[in-house]
Amino acid sequence: MFHLLRHPSITSLKAALLAGAGAMLCISSLALLQHWQHSLLIMAPFGATMVILFALPDSPLAQPRNIIGGHLLTALIGLLVLQYLDVNPLTLGLATGLGVSLMVLTNTLHPPAGANPLLVMLTVPEWDFLLTPVFSGTLLIVLFGVIYHRMINRRVYPLRWF
């Protein structure tokens, strides 16, 4: 019972605050750029990408290949299924399942990207959705992660690019 009342150690508190600060600054920066450029740079799955990038930067799931590749691949799958099939419960599941399978097969697994086929099929965007917000947003997220982890966190990120 009393173990539930213990405070986290200074190290874990510091890590938690740094992760939260990284996520806050990254999303806020994207939002400001989005406002200034009048182009879409943020989508909901990026919130979950923040968790992996800033709380688990050493994870294979947080590496640039996974962030950029996973989001691009699954958004493309959503657009292709949307283009050729109607939106219904079966095709929503099909697109999501294809996204998961292809991320595994291409070594671009990034769990937040699993939401992209659903996002695409439920919002019906144009094909330029792949460029913005998906590609431009993920590229900016990775670049921000590199700068943040090296300058603020004093750690090597990424562990690998491709």
Residues 6+ apart with CB under 8 A from 72: 130, 134, 135, 138
Average pLDDT over all residues of the chain: 95
42 vs 153: which has the higher pLDDT: 42
Residue spans of the domains in the chain: they are 9-151
Rounded Cα–Cα distance for residues 139 and 40 (Å): 13
- In degrees and rounded to multiples of 5, residue 144 shows phi and psi of -60, -45
Average pLDDT value for residue range 115-126: 98
pTM for the whole thing? 0.92
List the single range of 5-14, 78-87, 88-97, 146-155 with lowest mean pLDDT.
Answer: 5-14
Please report the pLDDT score of residue 2 as a whole number.
46
The predicted-structure confidence for 47-64, as pLDDT tens digits, reads as follows: 999 999 999 999 999 999
